[in-house]
């Protein structure tokens, strides 16, 4: 008898961090105070005006399906956001509202990945990249990124890895798990090369607003077939609302819409109405204050962590720091949790390139907890090195 589920289902890997999370919950049930640094979501909730706009939408019954590409007003608001923040003219017609960035990545993969097509993805990188490609029977080819290149792909890597089967590149900046950014110059070189090969450049910009000591940027406007995937989850602190967007080349919008009509029909309605309030000056002020808070946390936590572990690259954005524990990182994470009640994510979730020695910490906790975590990690790391 054949196995009951698909090869796809068997090949797609679970998140190792889920084991950490289960163990963390067990410790908490037993009364321990766990510092959660394993989860990729802000500890802040949506700004007040967003919440209240959501409340109004629920109470007024604005909860029917919307158009598949999203509320026209929200698409216009995002277009306005690109214009105000990035001085980029992005026609609202090119913007599709999605069920989180997941809905965006999913539909983009369905749109561009034929069976057997290769897509180049950074390793380490967000695991969804390779799994979305695999889900639609494509082949994700890892680009081995490292501290030498700030954990971001280079045009030279892309050129070397490109084959006649390659369909495009999918990368994220700021990166999950390393928090590092690609330089605009290198991204442009990649775009030019991809354009020459008639490929697509897919850029995950879901941590776009969360950069520190620099201003956010976008891949939009680069030459060739460029798609930007974005989200209300991170900068806008709306993870569980499941709302994102994609900016497409005009020629691909119709096919994206056809796919989305079936794959998710439309993004959550009240969340869309709520998100209209995310671009108000009042909300943006709150969000910029939080960005400053994340910057302060990074500035505190990264040097602290370096007293315990090697941090091979300076994180410039997102809310992650990626450290080398010098040994079996999965064991490191489980023992750190058991001994010191600090939860972190084993690097192996993010690929195969040196990831088995690495750990991702999310500095999504308030300063006092980060101080506590830093002390605990330091104590643990001393015993770890000695073992």
Residues between 258 and 297 that touch a second copy (CB under 8 A): 258-259, 261-271
* 225 sits near a second copy (criterion: CB under 8 A): yes
Contacts to a second copy from residues 16-35, by CB under 8 A: 18
Exactly one of 76, 91, 137, 288 binds a second copy (CB under 8 A); that residue is 137
* 3 state SS of 163: coil
* 86 sits near a second copy (criterion: CB under 8 A): no
* 223 sits near a second copy (criterion: CB under 8 A): no
Task: In whole angstroms, give the CA distance from residue 112 to residue 138.
Answer: 10
Residues near a second copy (CB under 8 A), total: 75
Give least dist CB 275 to a second copy, A. 12
Contacts to a second copy from residues 41-70, by CB under 8 A: 41, 45-46, 51, 54-55, 58-59, 61-66
Give least dist CB 5 to a second copy, A. 4
- Long-range contacts, 43-48 (Cβ 8 Å, 24+): 43/364, 43/365, 43/366, 44/237, 44/290, 45/237, 46/236, 46/237, 46/238, 46/241, 46/274, 46/278, 47/236, 47/237, 47/277, 47/278, 47/282, 47/283, 47/286, 47/287, 48/282, 48/286
Is 320 within 8 Å of 360 (Cβ atoms)? Answer: yes
Give least dist CB 381 to a second copy, A. 29
Give least dist CB 238 to a second copy, A. 7
Packed helices 100-112 and 253-263: angle between N→C axes, nearest 10 degrees: 120
* 139 sits near a second copy (criterion: CB under 8 A): no
* 102 sits near a second copy (criterion: CB under 8 A): yes
Give least dist CB 14 to a second copy, A. 5
Task: In whole angstroms, give the CA distance from residue 260 to residue 24.
Answer: 37
Q: Which one of 134-142, 287-295, 321-329, 375-383 is the stretch in contact with a second copy (CB under 8 A)?
A: 134-142
* 375 sits near a second copy (criterion: CB under 8 A): no
Q: Closer to a second copy at the Cβ: 242 or 297? A: 242
* 3 state SS of 205: coil
* 127 sits near a second copy (criterion: CB under 8 A): yes
Q: Closer to a second copy at the Cβ: 111 or 321? A: 111
Task: In whole angstroms, give the CA distance from residue 170 to residue 268.
Answer: 26
Exactly one of 47, 70, 100, 172 binds a second copy (CB under 8 A); that residue is 100
Q: Closer to a second copy at the Cβ: 146 or 280? A: 280
- Sheet (strand 320-324) strand order: 320-324, 358-362, 345-346
Take residue 6 and report the two structure tokens written for it. 């698909």
Give least dist CB 310 to a second copy, A. 29
Take residue 186 and report the two structure tokens written for it. 């290198």
H-run or E-run covering 140: strand 139-144
Q: Give the Cβ contact number of residue 93 at 10 Å.
A: 13
Exactly one of 75, 94, 242, 360 binds a second copy (CB under 8 A); that residue is 242
Exactly one of 39, 144, 161, 295 binds a second copy (CB under 8 A); that residue is 39
């Amino acid at each position: 008898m054949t196995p009951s589920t698909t090869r796809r289902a068997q090949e797609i890997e679970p998140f190792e961090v889920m084991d950490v999370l289960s163990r963390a919950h067990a410790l908490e049930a037993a009364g321990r105070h766990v510092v959660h640094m394993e989860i990729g979501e802000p500890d802040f909730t949506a700004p007040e005006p967003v919440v209240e706009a959501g409340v109004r939408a629920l109470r007024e019954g604005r909860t029917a399906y919307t158009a598949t590409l999203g509320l026209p007003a929200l698409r216009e608001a995002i277009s306005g956001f690109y214009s105000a923040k990035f001085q980029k003219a992005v026609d609202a017609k090119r913007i599709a509202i999605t069920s989180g960035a997941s809905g965006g990545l999913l539909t983009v993969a369905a749109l561009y990945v034929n069976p057997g097509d290769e897509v180049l993805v950074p390793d380490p990188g967000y695991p969804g990249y390779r799994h979305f490609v695999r889900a639609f029977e494509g082949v994700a080819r890892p680009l081995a990124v490292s501290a030498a290149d700030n954990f971001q792909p280079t045009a030279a890597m892309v050129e070397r890895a490109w084959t006649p089967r390659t369909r495009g590149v999918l990368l994220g900046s700021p990166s999950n798990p390393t928090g590092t950014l690609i330089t605009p110059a290198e991204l442009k070189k990649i775009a030019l090369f991809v354009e020459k090969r008639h490929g697509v450049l897919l850029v995950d910009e879901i941590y776009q607003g969360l950069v520190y000591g620099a201003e956010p940027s976008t891949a939009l406007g680069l030459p060739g077939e460029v798609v930007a995937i974005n989200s209300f989850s991170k900068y806008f602190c709306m993870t569980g609302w499941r709302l994102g967007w994609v900016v497409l080349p005009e020629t691909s919008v119709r096919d994206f819409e056809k796919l989305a009509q079936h794959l998710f029909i439309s993004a959550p309605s009240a969340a869309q109405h709520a998100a209209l309030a995310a671009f108000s000056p009042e909300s943006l002020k709150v969000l910029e204050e939080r960005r400053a808070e994340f910057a302060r946390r990074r500035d505190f936590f990264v040097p602290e962590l370096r007293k315990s572990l090697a941090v091979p690259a300076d994180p410039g954005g997102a809310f992650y720091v990626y450290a080398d524990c010098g040994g079996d990182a999965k064991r490191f994470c489980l023992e750190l949790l058991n001994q010191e009640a600090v939860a972190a994510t084993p690097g192996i979730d993010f690929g195969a390139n040196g990831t088995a020695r690495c750990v991702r910490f999310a500095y999504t906790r308030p300063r006092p907890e980060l101080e506590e975590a830093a002390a605990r990690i330091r104590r643990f790391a001393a015993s770890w090195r000695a073992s």
